[in-house]
Structure 1
Amino acid sequence: MSTSQPDASRWSGGCTPDDVLHARTGSDVSPEDVVLAAGRDITPRNLEWAKHKIEREGSAALDKLLP
């Protein structure tokens, strides 16, 4: 069966498929959200980068990364 979007459980990198991205419904932004929106892997170094970005920019840190 062919679909236009790859199954999230089979996703192995590259461009993030739409069904893996999630819209923010509240004001809480997690470091994981920022890392993924930036197209980076979730690693301790990237999570630390995201924490600092959130501290500096607040929820706009995520908004600036999303199209």
Structure 2
Amino acid sequence: MSTSQPDASRPPGDRATPDNLLHTRTGTEVSPEDLVLATGRDITPKNLEWAKRKLEAEGPAALDKLLP
């Protein structure tokens, strides 16, 4: 077995997803609704207020911290 192809020993369907495909942001603005939905919560006034505070404190990176 060649060491230049470390994935050669894995079955064809058993590969890790490349990191560049895991990121979710597309360079667009992150809204409070985006943040709430990323947590799996319902969009309610309470959750939107939480998301607004989190975005003010952390900026768009708040979404990156929640999603791969």
TM-score by length of 1: 0.62
Is contact 2:35-2:63 (8 Å) kept?
Answer: yes
Structure 1 unaligned runs (5+)? Answer: 1-22
Q: How does 1:26-37 map to 2 (within 5 A)?
A: 26-37=27-38
Tell me the CA shift for residue 27 of structure 1.
4.2
Displacement of 1:24: 2.7
Deviations 1:12-56 (A, max 9, x none): xxxxxxxxxxx3322411000000001110001000000000000
Identity, in percent, stands at: 78
**Two-structure CA RMSD over aligned residues (Å):** 1.1
Structure (1 or 2) with the greater helix fraction: 2
Q: 1:57 aligns to what?
A: 58
Give the corresponding residue for 2:26: 25
Could you tell me which residue of structure 2 aligns to residue 10 of structure 1?
none
Stretches of structure 2 lacking an aligned partner (at least 5 in a row): 1-23
Question: How many residues end up aligned between the 2 structures?
Answer: 45
Residues 27, 59 of structure 1: 8 Å contact kept: no
Q: Which aligned segments of 4 or more residues in structure 1 are displaced greater than 2 angstroms?
A: none
2:17 matched to which residue of 1?
none
